[in-house]
Structure 1
Amino acid sequence: MISVCIATYNGEKFIKEQLDSILHQLSDEDEIIISDDSSTDATLDIIKKYLDKRIVIIDNQKFHSPVYNFENAIKQAKGDYIFLADQDDVWLPHKIDSLLPHLVENDLVLSNAKVVDASLNMVKERFYKKIR
Protein backbone atom coordinates (compact mmCIF):
# COMPACT_ATOMS: atom_id res chain seq x y z
CA MET A 1 0.00 0.00 0.00
CA ILE A 2 1.17 3.52 -0.85
CA SER A 3 0.40 6.66 1.15
CA VAL A 4 0.92 10.09 -0.35
CA CYS A 5 1.08 12.74 2.38
CA ILE A 6 0.25 16.34 1.54
CA ALA A 7 0.38 19.32 3.91
CA THR A 8 -1.90 22.12 2.72
CA TYR A 9 -2.45 25.74 3.64
CA ASN A 10 -4.25 28.05 1.21
CA GLY A 11 -3.20 25.91 -1.74
CA GLU A 12 -6.24 26.40 -3.97
CA LYS A 13 -4.19 27.54 -6.96
CA PHE A 14 -2.53 24.18 -7.68
CA ILE A 15 -4.28 21.55 -5.55
CA LYS A 16 -6.55 20.28 -8.36
CA GLU A 17 -3.66 19.82 -10.82
CA GLN A 18 -1.66 18.16 -8.09
CA LEU A 19 -4.37 15.68 -7.11
CA ASP A 20 -5.12 14.91 -10.76
CA SER A 21 -1.44 14.13 -11.36
CA ILE A 22 -1.24 11.79 -8.36
CA LEU A 23 -4.60 9.98 -8.27
CA HIS A 24 -4.21 8.23 -11.61
CA GLN A 25 -0.94 6.71 -10.36
CA LEU A 26 -2.54 5.08 -7.31
CA SER A 27 -4.39 1.80 -6.96
CA ASP A 28 -7.76 1.48 -5.22
CA GLU A 29 -5.98 0.34 -2.01
CA ASP A 30 -3.65 3.35 -1.82
CA GLU A 31 -4.38 6.64 -0.06
CA ILE A 32 -3.71 10.35 -0.07
CA ILE A 33 -3.55 11.86 3.41
CA ILE A 34 -4.14 15.61 3.37
CA SER A 35 -3.47 17.56 6.56
CA ASP A 36 -4.84 21.08 6.18
CA ASP A 37 -3.50 23.83 8.42
CA SER A 38 -6.76 25.85 8.63
CA SER A 39 -6.86 27.12 5.05
CA THR A 40 -9.00 30.20 4.54
CA ASP A 41 -9.30 29.86 0.75
CA ALA A 42 -11.08 27.20 -1.35
CA THR A 43 -8.46 24.46 -0.81
CA LEU A 44 -10.76 22.15 1.14
CA ASP A 45 -13.76 22.82 -1.11
CA ILE A 46 -11.72 21.77 -4.14
CA ILE A 47 -10.46 18.60 -2.42
CA LYS A 48 -13.91 17.60 -1.15
CA LYS A 49 -15.34 17.73 -4.69
CA TYR A 50 -13.32 14.64 -5.57
CA LEU A 51 -15.50 12.25 -3.55
CA ASP A 52 -12.65 9.75 -3.79
CA LYS A 53 -12.39 7.18 -0.97
CA ARG A 54 -8.59 7.23 -1.32
CA ILE A 55 -8.45 10.86 -0.13
CA VAL A 56 -8.39 11.30 3.65
CA ILE A 57 -8.75 14.90 4.84
CA ILE A 58 -7.59 15.99 8.28
CA ASP A 59 -8.87 19.54 8.56
CA ASN A 60 -9.09 22.29 11.17
CA GLN A 61 -5.46 21.82 12.19
CA LYS A 62 -3.67 24.78 13.75
CA PHE A 63 0.03 24.05 13.36
CA HIS A 64 1.11 27.23 11.53
CA SER A 65 4.05 25.14 10.35
CA PRO A 66 4.50 22.94 7.28
CA VAL A 67 6.83 20.68 9.30
CA TYR A 68 4.21 19.85 11.94
CA ASN A 69 1.51 19.69 9.29
CA PHE A 70 3.50 17.06 7.33
CA GLU A 71 4.22 15.20 10.57
CA ASN A 72 0.49 15.05 11.23
CA ALA A 73 -0.18 13.59 7.78
CA ILE A 74 2.61 11.02 8.15
CA LYS A 75 1.25 9.88 11.53
CA GLN A 76 -2.07 9.06 9.83
CA ALA A 77 -0.52 7.19 6.90
CA LYS A 78 -1.17 3.46 6.69
CA GLY A 79 0.98 2.67 3.66
CA ASP A 80 4.08 0.53 3.50
CA TYR A 81 5.62 3.28 1.35
CA ILE A 82 5.15 6.98 2.01
CA PHE A 83 5.55 9.71 -0.59
CA LEU A 84 5.57 13.39 0.41
CA ALA A 85 4.12 16.05 -1.86
CA ASP A 86 4.11 19.81 -1.38
CA GLN A 87 0.72 21.34 -2.12
CA ASP A 88 1.97 22.91 -5.36
CA ASP A 89 3.67 19.81 -6.78
CA VAL A 90 2.38 18.44 -10.05
CA TRP A 91 3.77 14.95 -10.54
CA LEU A 92 5.10 13.64 -13.80
CA PRO A 93 3.39 10.49 -15.11
CA HIS A 94 4.84 7.26 -13.70
CA LYS A 95 6.61 8.96 -10.77
CA ILE A 96 5.45 6.26 -8.35
CA ASP A 97 6.33 3.43 -10.75
CA SER A 98 9.79 4.95 -11.24
CA LEU A 99 10.56 5.41 -7.55
CA LEU A 100 8.90 2.39 -5.96
CA PRO A 101 11.58 -0.17 -6.96
CA HIS A 102 14.18 2.06 -5.27
CA LEU A 103 12.06 2.40 -2.12
CA VAL A 104 11.88 -1.38 -1.84
CA GLU A 105 15.67 -1.46 -1.54
CA ASN A 106 16.31 1.79 0.36
CA ASP A 107 14.94 3.62 3.40
CA LEU A 108 14.79 6.98 1.64
CA VAL A 109 14.63 7.98 -2.02
CA LEU A 110 14.95 11.55 -3.25
CA SER A 111 13.85 12.51 -6.74
CA ASN A 112 14.80 15.47 -8.84
CA ALA A 113 12.19 17.94 -10.05
CA LYS A 114 11.58 20.27 -12.94
CA VAL A 115 11.09 23.86 -11.82
CA VAL A 116 8.07 25.54 -13.40
CA ASP A 117 6.29 28.86 -13.16
CA ALA A 118 2.65 29.42 -12.18
CA SER A 119 1.54 28.41 -15.70
CA LEU A 120 3.57 25.18 -15.53
CA ASN A 121 6.10 26.48 -18.07
CA MET A 122 9.52 25.01 -17.35
CA VAL A 123 11.95 27.45 -15.82
CA LYS A 124 14.71 24.97 -15.00
CA GLU A 125 15.18 21.37 -16.18
CA ARG A 126 16.49 20.13 -12.80
CA PHE A 127 16.12 21.36 -9.25
CA TYR A 128 19.27 19.49 -8.19
CA LYS A 129 22.34 19.94 -10.33
CA LYS A 130 23.83 16.52 -9.64
CA ILE A 131 22.30 13.27 -8.45
CA ARG A 132 24.27 10.11 -7.85
Structure 2
Amino acid sequence: MGKAERTALDNKLSQRFIHLDPAGYFIIYIDPEQQLIWMKHYPNDINEKGLAVDPDTGEPIPTKGKVTREPDLVLSGRTAKELCIELFEKDRQLVTMFDHAAYLGRELMRAQFCLDEGIEYIQD
Protein backbone atom coordinates (compact mmCIF):
# COMPACT_ATOMS: atom_id res chain seq x y z
CA MET A 1 0.00 0.00 0.00
CA GLY A 2 1.43 3.37 -1.04
CA LYS A 3 1.12 6.80 0.54
CA ALA A 4 -1.96 7.76 -1.52
CA GLU A 5 -3.78 4.59 -0.48
CA ARG A 6 -2.88 5.13 3.19
CA THR A 7 -4.13 8.71 3.01
CA ALA A 8 -7.39 7.59 1.39
CA LEU A 9 -7.85 4.92 4.07
CA ASP A 10 -7.25 7.43 6.87
CA ASN A 11 -9.66 9.90 5.28
CA LYS A 12 -12.32 7.18 5.07
CA LEU A 13 -11.75 6.13 8.69
CA SER A 14 -12.09 9.76 9.80
CA GLN A 15 -15.71 9.69 8.60
CA ARG A 16 -16.78 6.85 10.92
CA PHE A 17 -19.10 7.33 13.89
CA ILE A 18 -17.29 7.78 17.18
CA HIS A 19 -18.59 7.82 20.73
CA LEU A 20 -17.61 11.05 22.43
CA ASP A 21 -15.72 11.14 25.70
CA PRO A 22 -18.01 12.40 28.48
CA ALA A 23 -14.95 13.96 30.16
CA GLY A 24 -14.61 16.51 27.35
CA TYR A 25 -12.66 17.26 24.22
CA PHE A 26 -9.37 18.90 23.20
CA ILE A 27 -8.47 21.50 20.63
CA ILE A 28 -4.90 20.97 19.44
CA TYR A 29 -2.84 23.49 17.49
CA ILE A 30 0.77 24.41 16.89
CA ASP A 31 2.68 27.67 17.26
CA PRO A 32 5.59 27.56 14.80
CA GLU A 33 7.15 30.76 16.15
CA GLN A 34 7.37 29.40 19.70
CA GLN A 35 7.93 25.82 18.44
CA LEU A 36 5.17 24.56 20.73
CA ILE A 37 2.18 22.25 20.52
CA TRP A 38 -0.85 23.51 22.44
CA MET A 39 -3.83 21.60 23.86
CA LYS A 40 -6.97 23.16 25.29
CA HIS A 41 -9.47 20.98 27.17
CA TYR A 42 -13.18 21.77 27.24
CA PRO A 43 -15.67 19.91 29.41
CA ASN A 44 -18.89 18.66 27.85
CA ASP A 45 -21.93 16.54 28.52
CA ILE A 46 -23.30 13.99 26.04
CA ASN A 47 -27.01 14.27 25.19
CA GLU A 48 -29.45 11.47 24.31
CA LYS A 49 -28.49 11.76 20.62
CA GLY A 50 -24.80 11.22 21.43
CA LEU A 51 -23.90 14.86 20.74
CA ALA A 52 -21.47 16.87 22.84
CA VAL A 53 -23.31 19.70 24.56
CA ASP A 54 -22.19 22.67 26.61
CA PRO A 55 -22.69 21.63 30.26
CA ASP A 56 -23.82 25.16 31.14
CA THR A 57 -26.36 25.71 28.36
CA GLY A 58 -27.24 22.21 27.10
CA GLU A 59 -26.68 23.49 23.56
CA PRO A 60 -24.81 21.27 21.06
CA ILE A 61 -21.17 22.22 20.59
CA PRO A 62 -20.42 22.99 16.92
CA THR A 63 -17.75 20.86 15.26
CA LYS A 64 -16.66 23.62 12.88
CA GLY A 65 -15.77 27.23 13.51
CA LYS A 66 -14.25 29.16 16.35
CA VAL A 67 -14.70 27.95 19.93
CA THR A 68 -16.11 30.70 22.13
CA ARG A 69 -16.00 28.73 25.37
CA GLU A 70 -13.21 29.00 27.94
CA PRO A 71 -11.03 25.91 28.40
CA ASP A 72 -10.64 24.40 31.84
CA LEU A 73 -7.03 23.37 31.10
CA VAL A 74 -4.38 24.66 28.72
CA LEU A 75 -1.18 22.69 28.14
CA SER A 76 1.79 23.35 25.88
CA GLY A 77 4.78 21.21 25.10
CA ARG A 78 7.68 20.78 22.74
CA THR A 79 6.88 17.19 21.80
CA ALA A 80 3.97 14.77 21.66
CA LYS A 81 5.64 12.65 24.33
CA GLU A 82 6.00 15.61 26.69
CA LEU A 83 2.29 16.42 26.35
CA CYS A 84 1.21 12.77 26.72
CA ILE A 85 3.23 12.49 29.92
CA GLU A 86 1.69 15.71 31.22
CA LEU A 87 -1.81 14.58 30.28
CA PHE A 88 -1.78 10.89 31.18
CA GLU A 89 0.83 10.54 33.92
CA LYS A 90 -0.49 13.31 36.15
CA ASP A 91 -3.55 12.92 38.34
CA ARG A 92 -6.01 14.17 35.72
CA GLN A 93 -9.28 12.58 34.68
CA LEU A 94 -9.71 14.39 31.36
CA VAL A 95 -9.73 11.27 29.15
CA THR A 96 -11.98 8.36 30.09
CA MET A 97 -11.98 6.31 26.88
CA PHE A 98 -9.15 4.30 25.32
CA ASP A 99 -10.08 5.33 21.78
CA HIS A 100 -9.93 8.99 22.84
CA ALA A 101 -6.47 8.45 24.34
CA ALA A 102 -5.28 6.74 21.13
CA TYR A 103 -6.73 9.58 19.03
CA LEU A 104 -4.91 12.18 21.13
CA GLY A 105 -1.62 10.32 20.76
CA ARG A 106 -2.06 10.19 16.97
CA GLU A 107 -3.01 13.85 16.76
CA LEU A 108 -0.12 14.98 18.95
CA MET A 109 2.32 13.02 16.78
CA ARG A 110 0.83 14.62 13.65
CA ALA A 111 1.12 18.06 15.28
CA GLN A 112 4.76 17.39 16.14
CA PHE A 113 5.45 16.20 12.58
CA CYS A 114 3.90 19.37 11.15
CA LEU A 115 5.87 21.52 13.57
CA ASP A 116 9.11 19.70 12.63
CA GLU A 117 8.42 19.98 8.91
CA GLY A 118 7.15 23.55 8.97
CA ILE A 119 3.78 22.64 7.49
CA GLU A 120 0.24 23.52 8.51
CA TYR A 121 -1.46 21.33 11.11
CA ILE A 122 -5.24 20.82 10.98
CA GLN A 123 -6.74 18.66 13.68
CA ASP A 124 -8.67 15.62 12.41
- Could you say whether these structures have the same fold, taking a TM-score greater than 0.5 normalized by the shorter chain as the test? no
Structure with higher RCO (Cα < 8 A, 6+ apart):
1
Give the structure with the larger helix fraction: 2
TM-score (norm. length: structure 2): 0.28
